[in-house]
């Protein structure tokens, strides 16, 4: 069971998944990192971990369809079973979505459907919610929509700012994502017939 991880930035979730694999907690192969920012720290992490990388500059392609087709080609060549978005800051469109339908997951730092999109942590603080959290979900064509696989709650304290709240949320992401990938790998996660809900077994 081979996964590809897509990331655009620091890659702490990439690292958590790689660490879980290396320590024997997660029985998958990380076959590829896909990164739309060749200078991102996650590219260094992949090199250090010996993970092949496809780093590209979207501007060097004539269209989004063209770079997504280039991604699909690499995913197919590597026989990737599951696409794991971990801080990949781009909306996925049909070119990539169709061939991997039901096989793309994302992690988002809020309790969806609250606070989709950019800066979910800042949105939660601005709204004054007392509980926020982390969601892992299947990806569809929307922005952080798609059937919810798992959620964990995080309390927001009176004195929290973006940094302190992020430092509560990130360790939960790092624990949760390998756990959910493992459940998918074990075939314990499926989507209901109406395509809206995730069923666990």
Binding-site residues from annotation: 11-13, 64, 89-92, 106
Is the CB of residue 200 less than 8 Å from the CB of residue 160?
Answer: no
**Which positions lie near ligand GRF, rule CB under 6 A?**
7, 9-13, 86-87, 107-109, 173
CB nearer to ligand GRF: give 12 or 95: 12
- Closer residue to ligand GRF, CB minimum distance, 97 or 132: 132
3-state SS, the chain, equals CEEEEEECCCCHHHHHHHHHHHCCCCCCEEEEEEECCCCCHHHHHHHHHCCCEEECCHHHCCCHHHHHHHHHHHHHHCCCCEEEECCCCCCCCHHHHCCCCCCEEEEECCCCCCCCCCCHHHHHHHHCCCEEEEEEEECCCCCCCCCEEEEEEEECCCCCCHHHHHHHHHHHHHHHHHHHHHHHHCCCEEECCCCCCEEEC
> Minimal distance in Å, beta carbon 165 to ligand GRF?
11
Question: Which residue, 15 or 184, has its beta carbon nearer to ligand GRF?
Answer: 15
Q: Report the nearest approach of ligand GRF to the CB of residue 122 (Å).
A: 12
Report the DSSP beta bridge partners of residue 84: 5, 105
Q: In whole angstroms, how close is the CB of 102 to ligand GRF at the nearest point?
A: 20
| 108 assigned to active site | yes
Q: Which of 108, 137, 170, 174 is catalytic?
A: 108
Q: Evaluate whether 172 touches 134 at the Cβ level (below 8 Å).
A: yes
- Could you tell me the smallest distance in angstroms from the CB atom of residue 14 to ligand GRF? 6
The dihedral region occupied by 153, where left means phi > 0, alpha psi between -120 and 50, and beta the remainder, is: beta
Residue nearest to ligand GRF (CB): 87
Q: Which residues are catalytic?
A: 108
């Amino acid at each position: 069971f081979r996964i590809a991880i897509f990331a655009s930035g620091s890659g702490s979730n990439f690292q958590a998944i790689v660490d879980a694999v290396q320590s024997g907690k997660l029985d998958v192969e990380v076959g590829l990192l896909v990164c739309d920012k060749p200078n991102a720290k996650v590219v260094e992490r992949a090199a250090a971990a010996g993970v092949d990388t496809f780093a590209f500059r979207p501007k060097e392609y004539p269209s989004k369809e063209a770079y997504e087709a280039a991604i699909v080609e690499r995913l197919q060549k590597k026989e990737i079973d599951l696409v794991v978005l971990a801080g990949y800051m781009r909306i996925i469109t049909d070119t990539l979505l169709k061939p991997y339908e039901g096989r793309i997951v994302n992690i988002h730092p809020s309790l969806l459907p609250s606070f989709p999109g950019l800066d979910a942590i800042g949105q939660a603080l601005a709204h004054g919610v007392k509980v926020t959290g982390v969601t892992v979900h299947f990806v569809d064509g929307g922005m952080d929509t798609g059937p919810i696989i798992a959620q964990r709650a995080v309390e927001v304290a009176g004195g929290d700012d973006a940094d302190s709240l992020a430092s509560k949320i990130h360790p939960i992401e790092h624990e949760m994502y390998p756990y959910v990938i493992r459940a998918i790998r074990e075939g314990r996660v499926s989507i209901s017939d109406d395509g809206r809900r995730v069923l666990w077994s």
